[in-house]
């Protein structure tokens, strides 16, 4: 009886299958098993990075991708994955540089144009961003949409409606709060995709309690616009995000 020796392609096929089925632990185990036999495989390194990124270990994923690119500089799929990880880390300028150097993979690469649009939008290159959002939507309308630009007054009205709909005990937390509406988070310690944040102003007077300091509710309007295609969904997600944040800080 002849035993067939498994090839690298056999392992990669299984990894991809596990990944598509959402069986990430199985995929990760398969990568580890395969790396014992194929320690120099850049494809396995890339899969290891993808799985690390999917589990929220973005810095670890970036380090693995650097290693992969040292082994095979200029590898297109690895560079695309690196651009995605950089976006997740809020390093949109670095991601944009990679994408502009790469260009799309053919005429139907909707994901590329969407990824590029996100970076351009974050960097304030609005006209170019809109154009690429439109290309992505035209190529794959079921997956990508063109984010709307909601007027500030409309967003404020939506916020007031959501606050009124909140339970009384949650509304009371916001009674003395200052409300700020910004496009995107500007602080490096914030998740770049955060929808809102409830914080307190820094205590300026010595000995003052944090309870004496007004709360600040900051909403990141552009993150809502980019994540959700219409006002109805934005209202729903605004309610859920605000309710969750208020319950977290209020202990309700």
Over the chain (252 residues), the average pLDDT of each successive run of 10 is 77 96 96 95 97 96 98 96 96 97 96 98 96 98 96 96 94 90 78 88 52 81 96 96 89 50
3-class state of residue 220 by DSSP: strand
Closest CA to 121 of 109, 106, 136: 136
> 139 and 127 in contact (C-beta within 8 Å)?
no
Domain with CATH 3.30.2010.20 in the chain: 152-250
Computed from CA positions of residues 156, 237, 232, 169, in that sequence, does the dihedral angle turn out positive or negative? negative
3-class state of residue 178 by DSSP: strand
State how far the Cα of 60 lies from the Cα of 89, in Å rounded to an integer: 11
Question: What tokens were used for 205?
Answer: 């007077």
> 183 and 142 in contact (C-beta within 8 Å)?
no
Q: Torsion over CA of 200, 246, 170 and 216, rounded to 10 degrees?
A: 30
Q: What integer pLDDT is reported at residue 25 of this predicted model?
A: 96
Kindly calculate the radius of gyration of the chain based on its CA atoms and give it in whole angstroms: 23
Domain with CATH 1.25.40.10 in the chain: 8-102
Q: What integer pLDDT is reported at residue 204 of this predicted model?
A: 45
Q: What integer pLDDT is reported at residue 175 of this predicted model?
A: 87
> How is the beta sheet containing 215-220 ordered, strand by strand?
178-182, 215-220, 196-200
Neighbour-count burial for 187-204, b at 16+ CB within 10 Å, e otherwise: eeeeebebbbbbeeeeee
Where does 152-250 sit in CATH, by number? 3.30.2010.20
Q: What pTM was estimated for this model as a whole?
A: 0.88
| CA angle in degrees (0–180, nearest 5) for 171-174-179 | 130
* 192 Cβ neighbours under 8 A, 6+ residues apart: 88, 89, 90, 92, 122, 184, 185
From the candidate CATH numbers 1.10.630.10, 1.25.40.10, 2.30.40.10, 3.10.180.10, the one assigned to the domain spanning 8-102: 1.25.40.10
Burial grade of 49 (CB within 10 A; 0-12, 13-18, 19 or more): buried
State how far the Cα of 214 lies from the Cα of 185, in Å rounded to an integer: 20
């Amino acid at each position: 009886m002849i035993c067939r020796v498994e090839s690298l392609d056999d392992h990669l096929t299984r990894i991809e299958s596990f990944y598509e089925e959402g069986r990430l632990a199985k995929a990760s185990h398969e990568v580890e098993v395969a790396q014992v036999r194929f320690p120099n495989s850049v494809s396995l390194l890339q899969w290891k990075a993808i799985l690390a990124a999917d589990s929220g270990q973005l810095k670890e994923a970036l380090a693995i991708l650097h290693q992969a690119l040292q082994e095979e500089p200029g590898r297109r799929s690895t560079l695309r994955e690196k651009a995605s990880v950089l976006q997740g880390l809020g390093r949109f300028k670095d991601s944009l540089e990679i994408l502009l150097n790469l260009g799309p993979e053919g005429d139907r690469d909707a994901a590329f144009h969407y990824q590029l649009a996100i970076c351009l939008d974050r960097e304030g290159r609005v006209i170019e961003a809109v154009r690429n959002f439109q290309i992505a939507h035209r190529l794959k309308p079921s997956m990508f949409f063109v984010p709307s630009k909601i007027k500030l007054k409309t967003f404020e009205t939506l916020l007031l409606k959501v606050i009124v709909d909140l339970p009384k005990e949650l509304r009371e937390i916001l009674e003395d709060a200052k409300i700020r509406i910004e496009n995107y988070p500007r602080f490096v310690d914030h998740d770049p995709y955060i929808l809102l944040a409830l914080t307190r102003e820094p205590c300026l007077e010595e000995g003052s309690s944090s309870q004496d300091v007004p709360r600040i509710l900051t909403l990141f309007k552009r993150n809502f616009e980019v994540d959700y295609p219409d006002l109805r969904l934005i209202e729903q997600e605004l309610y859920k995000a605000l309710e969750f944040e208020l319950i977290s800080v209020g202990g309700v």
